[in-house]
A and B are shown apart, each in its own frame.
Chain A
């Protein structure tokens, strides 16, 4: 098992220093040329990096925005609680390819349900092209990632809520604290570790899985929603430049480890 994790790292780094080609079978050592090409000569690289960071951090924020109220509600004594708890996991277990298909259908610019409803309530007069507009497509992707991913933090927060002892709330009640005060002074601080862990997990999975954006837009229109993992895929298996692809993978992995590290540090330092 150690082999299956450690070997690929060394192999990727080694390949990134060569001009290995998928079909031509050439493989010469060229030093850091691939990195120079990417960082200084590639006109798209920096916007791709910016996209990658945006598409990883924005969904963490929006997912918590849905997950915290969802967990609070599902922790109350409500009817059919078990059923609702199960149903919110549907997006989480759905295959990402089908999520892509489903969202393309519901957001379709001709027959989409969302466009229809927005038209009916008068927010828009003309159907919106959710995937074709250079700016709007960002919103579409963040919404899609939120839908797909919010169940995980919800379950984590639910588990965290169970761990908060009732006595804390009871003594707060004696002190005359309101529900809102309870939330900000007891619930939220007690949930910190959970928010921290699920945030890191969301960050890592968001970064290492390129499928969501790939099936929705393939990085387009143009390079608008291109991320490092998709760029790696296109370079390695689309234009067969394995060496260059490996360099992108190496940069990408270094960044996700740094991001995870700093995110962790930042949240720890707030104690």
Chain B
């Protein structure tokens, strides 16, 4: 009897050991590259280029940050930063206008052709990248929108609206129908129900979805690469890769600082909505 008891305890400890061991391994794998980017961006030239690198920052140096911001002799990141912000915010707002209304319709009402609509949404996910890049370039040059922020907002909209609609319909489905019916019986109009009952409940979902659209637009590289070229509309992603191509190994501190500046906004925004993502992603992909 006693032997079995001890055996059970050993098993428990072993399981714990295994669980936390795996956790540590996965966290190291996930976070070390990012942490190394952060730490390196704060080092000065001499400590950065050492044969045996260390995690210690002997003297905090912001020379990299100074360089990437500098307009004349540096990376000149501020204008592309503004471009990225404007494009991402506007495309996120546009996306939400469509996604909330279409998502509500898909989530609430059964209407003929809904499966066709969902298939189109799914196809929209597949038909991205190479197949639409050349046509978009031609549309943009036909409309004289090459190298403008507007064309980016339009292109990102066509990509984020479908996925956001799927996500929003998932959020709307979680609201019990009875709640709306009760409001309706109490004399609330359909529109009134939508604005007073449905939208307040789904606010977290709306915030999460709009932040995801923002992140999509902010992070995109491939469309911005073909559609923008000058500082008028160039996004931070295009700028950073241009700088990598142009000076690569020469100016690591400046590039690493740029990397941190471009990454921190999305990481912070994502931290705010992180707990809704599991629900959003899965309700879209599995149930939708």
Contact = CB atoms under 8 A, between A and B. Distances in A.
Interface of A: 1-2, 4-5, 7-9, 11-12, 15, 66, 69-70, 72-74, 76, 78, 82, 84-91, 93-98, 100-106, 108, 110-113, 116, 147, 151-152, 155-156, 158-160, 179, 193-194, 197-198, 201, 204, 207-211, 214-215, 228-229, 232-233, 236-237, 242, 245-246, 248-250, 252-253, 256-257, 260
Given A88-B30, A89-B270, A197 B120 contact: no
Contact of A232 (B130, B240, B241): B130
18 contacts: A8-B131, A8-B136, A11-B135, A73-B23, A85-B274, A93-B270, A94-B263, A94-B266, A105-B256, A111-B50, A155-B282, A156-B281, A179-B15, A197-B286, A209-B129, A210-B129, A236-B137, A253-B131
Given A1-B162, A12-B131, A98 B263 contact: yes
B241 A97 contact: yes
Which bucket holds chain B's interface residue count? 35 or more
B179 interface: no
Given A76-B19, A249-B134, A204 B278 contact: no
B177 to A, nearest CB: 23
A73 B26 contact: yes
B277 interface: yes
A95 B218 contact: yes
Interface in B220-272: 221-222, 225-226, 237, 240-241, 244, 249, 252, 255-256, 258-259, 262-263, 266-267, 270-271
A86 B240 contact: no
Contacts of A111: 48-51, 53, 252
Interface stretch (B34-42, B103-111, B182-190, B192-200): B34-42
Given A95-B262, A106-B33, A210 B130 contact: yes
Nearest to A156: B282
B190 to A, nearest CB: 24
B135 A87 contact: no
Nearest to A236: B134
Interface string B39-73: 01000000011111100000000000000000000
Contacts, number: 226
A210 B258 CA distance: 22
Most chain B CB within 10 A, of A102, A103, A160, A197, is at: A102
A82 B275 contact: yes
B244 A98 contact: no
Prevailing SS type, chain A contact patch? helix
B27 interface: yes
Given A11-B135, A101-B258, 19 more contacts: A5-B127, A78-B20, A87-B27, A88-B27, A91-B30, A93-B270, A96-B221, A97-B237, A98-B259, A100-B241, A101-B37, A101-B256, A111-B49, A155-B282, A194-B286, A208-B130, A228-B130, A232-B133, A250-B131
